Structure formats: C-alpha cells, structure tokens
Structure 1
Amino acid sequence: MTKRDRGDDIETGTDIGVPIKLEAAIGAEIRRLRKRQDMTMAALAESAGLSQGMLSKIETGQTSPSLATLSALADALAVPISAFFGTLEQSRDVSYVPAGQGLGIDRRGTRAGHLYHLLGHSLRGDLAVEPYMITLDRESEPYEEFRHAGMEFIHMLSGRVIYRHGERLFPLGPGNSLFFDALAPHGPSKLLELPATYLSVICYGRQREG
C-alpha cells in the first residue's frame, strides 16, 4: 500500500456534472466483478494476498489501493486492471482532483524518497497519459536512472534541482520546463533547494492485446 492509506480524492465528473469519488467507483467495480464470479471476499483476499479487512475497505471506497494492490486483485479476478475503471467510461475521461490531493502511487522513485501523486487517468484510446505531482523533501535522494517508454514533460513549480537527461544536465527552478524522450536515463541529479515540487506528464502508446 502507499503511504497515504486513508484514501486520496480523485473525482470523475459524469455527464450531469456530479463528481464520483474514484476510490468508490473502483471499489464498487471490484465488488461487482467478484460477485459475478461467485467469489467470496475471503477467497479473493487470500488469492490477492490481502486481509479481508483491507479488501472490505477497498470495496467500500474507504482507502486508495496502490498500483501493486490493483494488479494483484486483477490477477486474482483474471481481468486487466483497466476493468476496474469500466464504470467510469461514461465520464468521457474527465478527472477532477481537489487542490492538494491525488492518488498516491508506488513508482521506482519512491525508494529514493520521491513522492508521486496521480492527478488523473485516461481510459481509452491508443495514447496513455499519466500526469503526476512529484514532491522532493529532505528525505529524498538524487536518482538519475529512470527509464521508460514514451515522452515526458516536466514543469517545475517550487524548489530547485539539477535534472539529468542522458549526458546533459539542466537547472530547473520555478517556471522552467523540460520535454524529452523518456527512454534515455533521466532524473534529478542534485537537489539544490527543498522542498521541490514539479508536474510530470508521461505519454506513451498503449499496447494492444492480440
């Protein structure tokens, strides 16, 4: 689970403008898929490596499951992770995140003290877009070895860092931006002024099954 176990708020707007809490929508879909397979909560929890209490909180929208937890539940239900977002299709991919909030996500950089909060999600189409708010604080460490498919855009909001992309170094302060091929090694090389926050938007092509 992520550090923020109480459930962060990402809300999805429906066509009539009524916000739906993302955790509640995901939890309801997990419960629906479980019941459709005539699986008990105990059986699903055991298969996914969770406690029944945690699964109950997830199904009732009381907590935000990490990406690893969603993956384990998807495997246990024999469905893709995207199935948990099925009921949100009607939203036409509109996500609303209240100020200062977002879904805590475990990514490789969290090991170096980089805190990720997902600010939205795309459900359909050939292009996947992942917008994150990333926070670096006194417990964070430099990490230059991020590599992943697609392109990435970074816009610095506060603090100052030296950011490496490949063999080049770029000073990033408030208002500075960087757009690059994410296959090259990249990441903050020096943390000059903390805390630091920046917006990171990752775009990549979805892999089609079959």
Structure 2
Amino acid sequence: MNKQAKPPATKLTQDPHALRDQREKNLEVAIGRQVRDLRKRQRMTGSDLAAVSGLSVGTLSKIENGHISPSLNTLQVLADALRVPFVQLFSGFDEPRSAMHVKAGEGVEIDRAGTRAGHQYSLLGHIGSNDSGVVVEPYLITLTDESDTFPTFQHEGIEFLYMIEGQVDYRHGDRIYRLAPGDSLLFDADAPHGPEVLVELPSRYLSIITYPQQR
C-alpha cells in the first residue's frame, strides 16, 4: 500500500534566525545613519536631498555624520523629503526592549472582560506600549467541573490555543474541534468561539491573544 504523500512544507518569508543590524546608542549618529541609508535607497545624492528639503549640503552632511542634533522641524522636513514616516528616522536607535519572566505557578490570576464562571485565567506576562504595534496576552486557562461552557466569545485579534491537559470540544464559528493534549488551534477571534463541551476535566490550555495596539 502506498503511503499518502505529505503535503509540501510551507515556505515562510521571515527567517527566525536572522540578525538585525546592530543598533546605535548615540541618537544623533543613529538618525544620521538612517537619513543616509534612506537617501541611498532612493538613489538620491546629497545635493538631490538638499534641494528637495531646502537644507544646505553642508547641514545635511553634518546631520548624516551625526555631528549636529537636528531640530524636530528639520527632521520632519527630511522625513517629508524622503517620503517616510517621521518615526522611521529613529528606527536605528538602541531603545530598551522589554522582557517578562514568570516562574511556574506565579501567573497573575485575573478577571478578564467577559470571563465566565469557573474559567480560571492566569496571565503569564504582559508588555505595555511597544514599537511593534501589537499587544500580546498569554493566558493559562483552567476549566473544572464548576466551569460554564460558553462557545460565543468574540473579540478583536488573532487567538492561538495549545491544549495541555484534558479534552474539550471547542467551537469556532460553525465548526467544532476536539482538542486533546498537544493539539493547537489558531483562529480569527472576531468569530464566535469558546469551549462547547467539556469532555475530560480538569482541562488546561494555553491561550495567546494578539491584537493591534491602540495608539
């Protein structure tokens, strides 16, 4: 009997092992390097950018070499001339990046908006305002014989579930998925979703919700 051929692996566009260019710790140097890189990408000479921005070639050279600290107005003029968002001129600067380590059993138990009776939510970490534009909320959810079934949760964003213990029939839209340990489910959280049948208790699963950061 011929074994069923495996579907071809999906090729991802992002390299998980890629290294980013080292970030500059001096703000003036970081801005100057970014202006120069953006100018070169657009195949503009220093004279071209000076003409478009209204700055002198000498001033532009000092900015690109990090020798002066340009005003906010000058930076806005350069951003307009380079046709990029203002904040992109700061993208090479080495800002602190947050991390949060939560030891086993130390997740913060919270009452999340819309929480149903008997649904225990342990928040496993939280990073506030950041440059990614995305909020990520990781939860460890525990269901017991005191838990309600509630298959009509709805909220913005994308949600990922990973089943750790027990079994549940989990609804998403008009489909039901039997989730057992090791199973995962990734879905658009705007559709009605949630545990419809608690098959084997206690059940525990990891829920990671991502949604756009409110600016």
Q: TM-score, normalised by structure 2?
A: 0.53
Note if contact 1:142-1:190 (Cα within 8 Å) is conserved in structure 2: yes
Which structure features the higher share of helix residues? 1
Separation of aligned partners in 2, 1:108 and 1:171: 25
1:38-187 residue pairs with structure 2 within 5 A?
92-108=97-113, 110-123=115-128, 124-125=130-131, 126-187=133-194
Separation of aligned partners in 2, 1:96 and 1:108: 24
Separation of aligned partners in 2, 1:147 and 1:96: 29
Identical columns (%)? 55
CA shift, 1:109, in A, is: 5.1
Residue of structure 1 in register with 2:52 after alignment: none
Residue 214 (structure 2) pairs with residue 193 (structure 1): no
Note if contact 2:158-2:210 (Cα within 8 Å) is conserved in structure 1: yes
Note if contact 1:112-1:143 (Cα within 8 Å) is conserved in structure 2: no
CA shift, 1:113, in A, is: 1.1
Residue of structure 2 in register with 1:202 after alignment: 209
User: Aligned letter for 2:173?
Assistant: G
Deviations, residues 80-110 of structure 1 (Å, cap 9, x unaligned)? xxxxxxxxxx973211111122111112453
2:168 is paired with a residue whose SS is strand
CA shift, 1:111, in A, is: 2.8
User: Aligned letter for 1:110?
Assistant: T
Which structure features the higher share of strand residues? 1
> How many pairs does the alignment contain?
119
Give the number of the structure whose alpha-carbon radius of gyration is greater: 2
2:115 is paired with a residue whose SS is helix
Note if contact 2:116-2:150 (Cα within 8 Å) is conserved in structure 1: no
Structure 2: gaps spanning 5 or more residues: 1-94
Separation of aligned partners in 2, 1:203 and 1:102: 18
